[in-house]
Structure 1
């Protein structure tokens, strides 16, 4: 059983921001699996199916680890059974990268999960959002909505990330890494 956690910030003000791409991927995954009725549990919105559970922490990004560690304790999960989906500034828009473990890369939501789980050994799907242009604040950038011309690429990569989740659950992490880490977006800006 996998716990798939999408990182983001709760509330309508953040719904379509770059930092909420983890939530967007989980919404796409829920649609693919025809799952409905998110329920509140451990400070997260949760959906369960036979092979996986989806969770969107409602604690705000920098405190995501509180929710993830509560879910891990309640469901007696090892870090290796938790798949984190989050935005990544170091990947260009439209790319995803699946990793087995690692540091936070400066992502405060990931840092919170590492701190609260007491482990860096959980797989991740990093969804590229690119970096802001010169002179722009990273904080303002990640909390801003995608530009109109980016939306086609964003829709494509959200679907690819949902496919990657399915591949991980069905065929394993290694197979998913081999398939999805080499992909380039079909759409371009």
Structure 2
């Protein structure tokens, strides 16, 4: 029996031009790629505290969300959309930046903790559950925990940005499997080690 597929993809990030190109906005980058690939249009939705688009993937409705609450309050937006559209927790995918993976690597996982990520911490609290899917998009680690805040709010090198966007492209290509509940196939694609030129 197949699992229920994804119906809501949320990319975590901070709103505004000052943050647009920072590592912490990797989740936003994925949503932008999905909007482009599936010819959607993001619209500001005050009641959802974010920018939303609705697209069709393989005949399935998929909603895309970029919370505009700032990272630490992402859950307000996530929970508002999930409740309004009656989307089950296991049909939600949250994409976000991951310090413990290098740029160009990703990890698709069901359930788990927040590992110190404030956007995830707030989303778990607001949903009242950890049982959603998450896509951890590697951004690398600065090597010292005292430098983390400046690092995630800084811009990646051109090579690192390209590697993060490659992961977003892989996730776009995996979306038909994700909406159909073929999570193992999506994992196979997303966990593949990128080939070096």
TM-score normalised by length of structure 2 = 0.88
Write out per-residue CA displacement over residues 48-97 of structure 1, whole angstroms, 9 at most, x where no aligned residue. 12320000000000100011111111111111111101111111111011
Which of the numbers 13, 16, 19 marks the counterpart of 2:18? 13
Which of the numbers 31, 52, 61 marks the counterpart of 2:62? 52
Does 2:37 align with 1:32?
yes
Contact 2:138 2:164 in 1 (8 A): no
Q: Distance in 1 between matches of 2:68 and 2:90?
A: 22
* DSSP 3-state at the match of 1:93: coil
* DSSP 3-state at the match of 1:49: strand
Aligned-residue Cα RMSD (Å) equals: 1.7
Which of the numbers 80, 96, 100 marks the counterpart of 2:90? 80
Gaps spanning 5+ residues in structure 2: where? 1-5
Number of aligned residue pairs: give it. 187
Q: Distance in 2 between matches of 1:135 and 1:102?
A: 22
**Matches for 1:133-144 after TM superposition, within 5 Å:** 133-134=143-144, 137-144=147-154
Per-residue deviation, 1:135? 7.4
Q: Which runs of 4+ in 1 moved over 3 A?
A: 133-136
TM-score normalised by length of structure 1 = 0.92
Per-residue deviation, 1:160? 1.2
Gaps spanning 5+ residues in structure 1: where? none
